[in-house]
Structure 1
Amino acid sequence: MKLDPETDLSFTRTINAPPALLWECWTTPEHIKNFFMPKPHFIEACDIDLRVGGRFNTTMNVDGNKIENKGVYLEIVDGKKLVFTDTYSEGWAPAPDPFMTAIVEFEDDGNGGTTYTATARHRSSESRQTHEDMGFFDGWGTVATQLEEYAQSLAKG
Protein backbone atom coordinates (compact mmCIF):
# COMPACT_ATOMS: atom_id res chain seq x y z
CA MET A 1 0.00 0.00 0.00
CA LYS A 2 1.38 3.36 -0.99
CA LEU A 3 0.68 6.05 1.60
CA ASP A 4 -0.01 9.66 0.72
CA PRO A 5 1.58 11.96 3.32
CA GLU A 6 -1.02 14.61 2.48
CA THR A 7 -3.98 12.44 3.55
CA ASP A 8 -2.64 9.43 5.48
CA LEU A 9 -1.31 8.89 9.01
CA SER A 10 0.41 5.65 9.99
CA PHE A 11 2.63 4.10 12.61
CA THR A 12 4.16 0.70 13.22
CA ARG A 13 5.07 -0.87 16.54
CA THR A 14 6.16 -4.28 17.77
CA ILE A 15 3.65 -5.69 20.25
CA ASN A 16 4.66 -8.48 22.60
CA ALA A 17 1.71 -10.76 21.83
CA PRO A 18 1.05 -13.13 18.94
CA PRO A 19 -0.94 -11.96 15.90
CA ALA A 20 -3.76 -14.48 16.51
CA LEU A 21 -4.41 -13.05 19.96
CA LEU A 22 -4.39 -9.45 18.70
CA TRP A 23 -6.78 -10.48 15.92
CA GLU A 24 -9.12 -11.98 18.50
CA CYS A 25 -8.98 -8.74 20.51
CA TRP A 26 -9.79 -6.62 17.45
CA THR A 27 -12.67 -8.83 16.27
CA THR A 28 -14.53 -9.53 19.54
CA PRO A 29 -16.81 -6.80 20.94
CA GLU A 30 -16.09 -7.63 24.59
CA HIS A 31 -12.35 -7.38 23.92
CA ILE A 32 -12.62 -4.10 21.98
CA LYS A 33 -14.08 -2.44 25.07
CA ASN A 34 -10.85 -3.12 26.97
CA PHE A 35 -8.37 -1.27 24.77
CA PHE A 36 -9.88 0.71 21.88
CA MET A 37 -10.11 4.14 23.57
CA PRO A 38 -7.29 5.86 25.45
CA LYS A 39 -8.19 5.76 29.15
CA PRO A 40 -9.95 7.35 30.96
CA HIS A 41 -12.27 7.37 27.90
CA PHE A 42 -13.88 4.05 27.04
CA ILE A 43 -16.09 2.08 24.69
CA GLU A 44 -19.58 1.61 26.15
CA ALA A 45 -20.87 -0.63 23.40
CA CYS A 46 -19.52 -2.45 20.38
CA ASP A 47 -21.36 -4.39 17.69
CA ILE A 48 -19.40 -6.36 15.11
CA ASP A 49 -20.56 -8.31 12.07
CA LEU A 50 -17.19 -9.53 10.82
CA ARG A 51 -17.63 -9.68 7.06
CA VAL A 52 -17.08 -7.29 4.19
CA GLY A 53 -20.02 -4.90 4.37
CA GLY A 54 -20.68 -5.96 7.96
CA ARG A 55 -20.99 -3.45 10.76
CA PHE A 56 -18.30 -2.16 13.08
CA ASN A 57 -20.27 0.10 15.42
CA THR A 58 -18.97 1.58 18.63
CA THR A 59 -20.34 3.92 21.27
CA MET A 60 -17.54 5.89 22.86
CA ASN A 61 -17.69 7.68 26.18
CA VAL A 62 -15.50 10.77 26.25
CA ASP A 63 -15.76 12.69 29.51
CA GLY A 64 -19.35 11.52 29.97
CA ASN A 65 -20.36 12.37 26.39
CA LYS A 66 -21.58 9.47 24.26
CA ILE A 67 -20.31 9.42 20.70
CA GLU A 68 -21.74 6.86 18.34
CA ASN A 69 -19.60 5.74 15.45
CA LYS A 70 -21.14 3.52 12.81
CA GLY A 71 -19.02 1.90 10.17
CA VAL A 72 -18.45 -1.09 7.94
CA TYR A 73 -15.65 -3.46 7.10
CA LEU A 74 -14.22 -2.95 3.63
CA GLU A 75 -11.59 -5.70 3.70
CA ILE A 76 -10.86 -8.61 6.00
CA VAL A 77 -7.79 -10.80 5.61
CA ASP A 78 -8.22 -13.41 8.34
CA GLY A 79 -5.65 -12.97 11.07
CA LYS A 80 -3.71 -10.33 9.15
CA LYS A 81 -5.67 -7.23 8.16
CA LEU A 82 -8.83 -5.27 8.98
CA VAL A 83 -10.01 -2.31 6.94
CA PHE A 84 -13.01 -0.39 8.22
CA THR A 85 -14.53 3.00 7.59
CA ASP A 86 -17.14 5.39 8.92
CA THR A 87 -17.77 6.60 5.37
CA TYR A 88 -20.62 4.08 5.24
CA SER A 89 -22.72 2.22 7.74
CA GLU A 90 -24.26 -1.22 7.29
CA GLY A 91 -26.16 -1.59 4.03
CA TRP A 92 -23.71 0.86 2.42
CA ALA A 93 -25.64 3.85 3.74
CA PRO A 94 -23.42 6.93 3.22
CA ALA A 95 -22.42 8.87 6.33
CA PRO A 96 -23.21 12.59 6.33
CA ASP A 97 -19.76 13.56 7.62
CA PRO A 98 -17.25 10.70 7.32
CA PHE A 99 -13.91 11.00 9.10
CA MET A 100 -11.56 8.22 8.05
CA THR A 101 -10.81 4.72 6.86
CA ALA A 102 -8.67 2.65 9.24
CA ILE A 103 -6.33 -0.16 8.27
CA VAL A 104 -4.97 -2.38 11.04
CA GLU A 105 -2.35 -4.96 10.09
CA PHE A 106 -0.86 -7.83 12.11
CA GLU A 107 2.36 -9.51 10.98
CA ASP A 108 4.21 -12.22 12.89
CA ASP A 109 7.55 -10.76 13.95
CA GLY A 110 9.22 -14.19 14.16
CA ASN A 111 9.80 -13.86 17.91
CA GLY A 112 6.32 -14.56 19.28
CA GLY A 113 5.19 -10.98 18.85
CA THR A 114 3.46 -8.89 16.21
CA THR A 115 4.50 -6.10 13.93
CA TYR A 116 1.38 -3.97 14.32
CA THR A 117 0.59 -1.19 11.87
CA ALA A 118 -2.30 1.25 12.21
CA THR A 119 -3.09 3.56 9.31
CA ALA A 120 -5.77 6.23 9.02
CA ARG A 121 -6.66 7.42 5.52
CA HIS A 122 -8.57 10.69 5.15
CA ARG A 123 -10.49 12.29 2.30
CA SER A 124 -8.55 15.57 2.50
CA SER A 125 -5.33 17.02 3.83
CA GLU A 126 -7.44 19.16 6.17
CA SER A 127 -9.14 16.17 7.80
CA ARG A 128 -5.77 14.41 8.05
CA GLN A 129 -4.33 17.47 9.81
CA THR A 130 -7.35 17.63 12.13
CA HIS A 131 -6.76 13.99 13.10
CA GLU A 132 -3.06 14.60 13.70
CA ASP A 133 -3.87 17.67 15.80
CA MET A 134 -6.41 15.61 17.79
CA GLY A 135 -3.51 13.36 18.77
CA PHE A 136 -3.46 10.49 16.25
CA PHE A 137 0.02 9.33 17.22
CA ASP A 138 -0.49 9.61 20.98
CA GLY A 139 -4.05 8.23 20.85
CA TRP A 140 -3.42 5.28 18.57
CA GLY A 141 -0.10 4.69 20.35
CA THR A 142 -1.95 4.55 23.68
CA VAL A 143 -4.46 2.14 22.14
CA ALA A 144 -1.56 -0.07 20.97
CA THR A 145 -0.08 -0.06 24.49
CA GLN A 146 -3.47 -0.88 26.03
CA LEU A 147 -3.96 -3.63 23.43
CA GLU A 148 -0.59 -5.15 24.32
CA GLU A 149 -1.33 -5.06 28.06
CA TYR A 150 -4.81 -6.49 27.57
CA ALA A 151 -3.64 -9.26 25.21
CA GLN A 152 -0.90 -10.22 27.67
CA SER A 153 -3.48 -10.44 30.47
CA LEU A 154 -5.57 -12.81 28.33
CA ALA A 155 -2.52 -14.96 27.56
CA LYS A 156 -1.82 -15.34 31.30
CA GLY A 157 -5.45 -16.17 32.08
Structure 2
Amino acid sequence: MILDPDTDLVLTRKSNAPRATVWQCWTTPEHLMQWFVPAPNTVTACTLDLRPGGACKTTFDIGGTVMENNGVYLEIVEGRKLVFTDTYTEGWKPAPEPFMTAIILLEDADDGGTQYTAIARHRTPEAAKQHEEMGFHTGWGIVADQLDAYALSLATA
Protein backbone atom coordinates (compact mmCIF):
# COMPACT_ATOMS: atom_id res chain seq x y z
CA MET A 1 0.00 0.00 0.00
CA ILE A 2 1.36 3.38 -0.97
CA LEU A 3 1.04 6.00 1.75
CA ASP A 4 0.97 9.74 1.20
CA PRO A 5 2.77 11.53 4.05
CA ASP A 6 0.75 14.68 3.34
CA THR A 7 -2.69 13.11 3.73
CA ASP A 8 -2.25 9.80 5.60
CA LEU A 9 -1.79 9.45 9.35
CA VAL A 10 -0.50 6.05 10.48
CA LEU A 11 -0.49 4.25 13.81
CA THR A 12 1.15 0.82 14.15
CA ARG A 13 0.92 -1.24 17.31
CA LYS A 14 1.21 -4.81 18.45
CA SER A 15 -1.65 -6.49 20.27
CA ASN A 16 -0.97 -9.48 22.47
CA ALA A 17 -4.29 -11.02 21.45
CA PRO A 18 -4.62 -13.34 18.44
CA ARG A 19 -5.65 -11.79 15.12
CA ALA A 20 -9.01 -13.61 15.09
CA THR A 21 -9.93 -12.03 18.42
CA VAL A 22 -8.81 -8.55 17.36
CA TRP A 23 -10.88 -8.97 14.18
CA GLN A 24 -13.90 -9.96 16.27
CA CYS A 25 -13.44 -6.79 18.35
CA TRP A 26 -13.48 -4.67 15.20
CA THR A 27 -16.47 -6.40 13.59
CA THR A 28 -18.92 -7.13 16.41
CA PRO A 29 -20.93 -4.15 17.74
CA GLU A 30 -21.03 -5.29 21.36
CA HIS A 31 -17.25 -5.71 21.36
CA LEU A 32 -16.43 -2.51 19.48
CA MET A 33 -18.52 -0.52 21.97
CA GLN A 34 -16.16 -1.59 24.78
CA TRP A 35 -12.99 0.05 23.48
CA PHE A 36 -13.49 2.29 20.42
CA VAL A 37 -13.17 5.74 22.11
CA PRO A 38 -10.72 6.85 24.78
CA ALA A 39 -12.16 6.27 28.26
CA PRO A 40 -14.00 7.71 30.08
CA ASN A 41 -15.88 8.54 26.85
CA THR A 42 -18.22 5.84 25.58
CA VAL A 43 -19.76 4.37 22.46
CA THR A 44 -23.51 4.48 23.10
CA ALA A 45 -24.72 2.89 19.86
CA CYS A 46 -23.16 0.86 17.06
CA THR A 47 -24.38 -0.65 13.78
CA LEU A 48 -21.97 -2.66 11.63
CA ASP A 49 -23.14 -4.20 8.34
CA LEU A 50 -19.98 -5.98 7.18
CA ARG A 51 -20.17 -5.74 3.42
CA PRO A 52 -19.05 -3.15 0.89
CA GLY A 53 -21.67 -0.43 1.06
CA GLY A 54 -22.89 -1.67 4.45
CA ALA A 55 -23.40 0.74 7.30
CA CYS A 56 -20.61 1.54 9.74
CA LYS A 57 -22.27 3.73 12.37
CA THR A 58 -21.16 4.66 15.85
CA THR A 59 -22.51 7.16 18.35
CA PHE A 60 -20.11 8.54 20.94
CA ASP A 61 -20.70 10.30 24.23
CA ILE A 62 -17.69 12.60 24.53
CA GLY A 63 -17.91 14.35 27.87
CA GLY A 64 -21.69 14.71 27.55
CA THR A 65 -21.63 15.70 23.86
CA VAL A 66 -23.20 13.23 21.43
CA MET A 67 -21.21 12.61 18.24
CA GLU A 68 -22.71 10.65 15.34
CA ASN A 69 -20.32 8.90 12.97
CA ASN A 70 -22.11 7.55 9.91
CA GLY A 71 -20.29 5.85 7.09
CA VAL A 72 -19.96 2.76 4.98
CA TYR A 73 -17.52 -0.07 4.45
CA LEU A 74 -15.58 0.07 1.21
CA GLU A 75 -13.53 -3.13 1.51
CA ILE A 76 -13.47 -6.12 3.80
CA VAL A 77 -10.86 -8.87 3.70
CA GLU A 78 -11.94 -11.37 6.35
CA GLY A 79 -9.64 -11.31 9.34
CA ARG A 80 -7.13 -8.97 7.72
CA LYS A 81 -8.46 -5.65 6.41
CA LEU A 82 -11.31 -3.20 6.99
CA VAL A 83 -11.75 -0.02 4.98
CA PHE A 84 -14.52 2.36 5.96
CA THR A 85 -15.30 5.99 5.24
CA ASP A 86 -17.58 8.80 6.27
CA THR A 87 -17.48 10.16 2.70
CA TYR A 88 -20.67 8.20 2.04
CA THR A 89 -23.57 6.98 4.13
CA GLU A 90 -25.88 4.02 3.50
CA GLY A 91 -27.13 3.78 -0.07
CA TRP A 92 -23.94 5.54 -1.25
CA LYS A 93 -25.37 8.94 -0.34
CA PRO A 94 -22.58 11.54 -0.26
CA ALA A 95 -21.94 12.90 3.21
CA PRO A 96 -22.17 16.67 3.56
CA GLU A 97 -18.85 17.03 5.43
CA PRO A 98 -16.61 13.99 4.95
CA PHE A 99 -13.55 13.75 7.15
CA MET A 100 -11.56 10.60 6.44
CA THR A 101 -11.27 7.03 5.28
CA ALA A 102 -9.92 4.49 7.78
CA ILE A 103 -7.87 1.49 6.74
CA ILE A 104 -7.33 -1.16 9.41
CA LEU A 105 -4.72 -3.85 8.67
CA LEU A 106 -4.19 -6.92 10.85
CA GLU A 107 -1.33 -9.41 10.52
CA ASP A 108 -0.17 -12.31 12.66
CA ALA A 109 2.76 -11.44 14.91
CA ASP A 110 5.49 -14.03 15.53
CA ASP A 111 4.43 -14.65 19.13
CA GLY A 112 0.74 -15.33 18.42
CA GLY A 113 -0.30 -11.71 18.81
CA THR A 114 -1.40 -9.26 16.13
CA GLN A 115 0.41 -6.54 14.23
CA TYR A 116 -2.15 -3.73 14.01
CA THR A 117 -1.96 -0.78 11.61
CA ALA A 118 -4.53 2.01 11.45
CA ILE A 119 -4.35 4.50 8.58
CA ALA A 120 -6.48 7.63 8.55
CA ARG A 121 -6.56 8.87 4.96
CA HIS A 122 -7.72 12.44 4.38
CA ARG A 123 -8.84 14.36 1.32
CA THR A 124 -6.39 17.21 1.84
CA PRO A 125 -3.15 17.91 3.70
CA GLU A 126 -5.06 20.50 5.73
CA ALA A 127 -7.59 17.88 6.92
CA ALA A 128 -4.75 15.52 7.89
CA LYS A 129 -3.00 18.31 9.79
CA GLN A 130 -6.24 19.17 11.57
CA HIS A 131 -6.72 15.51 12.59
CA GLU A 132 -3.12 15.28 13.77
CA GLU A 133 -3.54 18.46 15.83
CA MET A 134 -6.79 17.06 17.30
CA GLY A 135 -4.64 14.29 18.78
CA PHE A 136 -4.80 11.46 16.25
CA HIS A 137 -1.70 9.65 17.55
CA THR A 138 -2.56 10.07 21.22
CA GLY A 139 -6.26 9.25 20.84
CA TRP A 140 -5.85 6.34 18.46
CA GLY A 141 -2.95 5.12 20.62
CA ILE A 142 -5.20 5.07 23.70
CA VAL A 143 -7.86 3.25 21.71
CA ALA A 144 -5.28 0.71 20.46
CA ASP A 145 -4.25 0.06 24.08
CA GLN A 146 -7.90 -0.35 25.09
CA LEU A 147 -8.45 -2.71 22.15
CA ASP A 148 -5.43 -4.77 23.18
CA ALA A 149 -6.60 -5.08 26.80
CA TYR A 150 -10.17 -5.90 25.82
CA ALA A 151 -9.17 -8.40 23.10
CA LEU A 152 -6.73 -10.08 25.46
CA SER A 153 -9.48 -10.43 28.09
CA LEU A 154 -11.64 -12.20 25.49
CA ALA A 155 -8.79 -14.42 24.31
CA THR A 156 -7.96 -15.59 27.84
CA ALA A 157 -11.57 -15.98 29.02
Question: TM-score band (shorter)?
Answer: over 0.9
User: Unaligned regions of 5+ residues in structure 2, if any?
Assistant: none
Pairs within 5 Å for 1:87-98: 87-98=87-98
Residue 110 of structure 1 deviates from its aligned partner by 2.2
Superposition RMSD on alpha carbons, in Å? 0.6
Q: Corresponding residue for 1:134?
A: 134
Q: How does 1:7-156 map to 2 (within 5 A)?
A: 7-156=7-156
Question: In structure 1, the residue corresponding to 2:91 is in which secondary structure?
Answer: coil
TM-score (norm 1): 0.98
Cα offset, 1:18, TM superposition: 0.6
Native 8 Å contact 2:57 2:69 kept in 1: yes
Secondary structure of 1:79 counterpart: coil
Stretches (4+) displaced over 2 A? none
Give, in angstroms, the shift of residue 156 of structure 1. Answer: 2.3
In 1, Cα distance between the equivalents of 2:41 and 2:151?
Answer: 19
Count of paired positions: 157
C-alpha distance in 1 between matches for 2:155 and 2:83: 25
Structure 2 Cα separation of the partners of residues 3 and 38 of structure 1? 26
Amino acid at match of 1:139: G
Q: Which amino acid aligns with 1:107?
A: E
Deviations 1:22-78 (A, max 9, x none): 000000000011110001111100001100100000001111111111000000000
Match of 1:3 in 2: 3
How many Å apart are 1:82 and its aligned residue? Answer: 0.2
The answer to whether the 8 Å contact 2:18/2:155 transfers is no
In structure 1, how many angstroms separate the alpha carbons of the residues matched to 2:133 and 2:151?
Answer: 29
Q: Percent identity?
A: 60
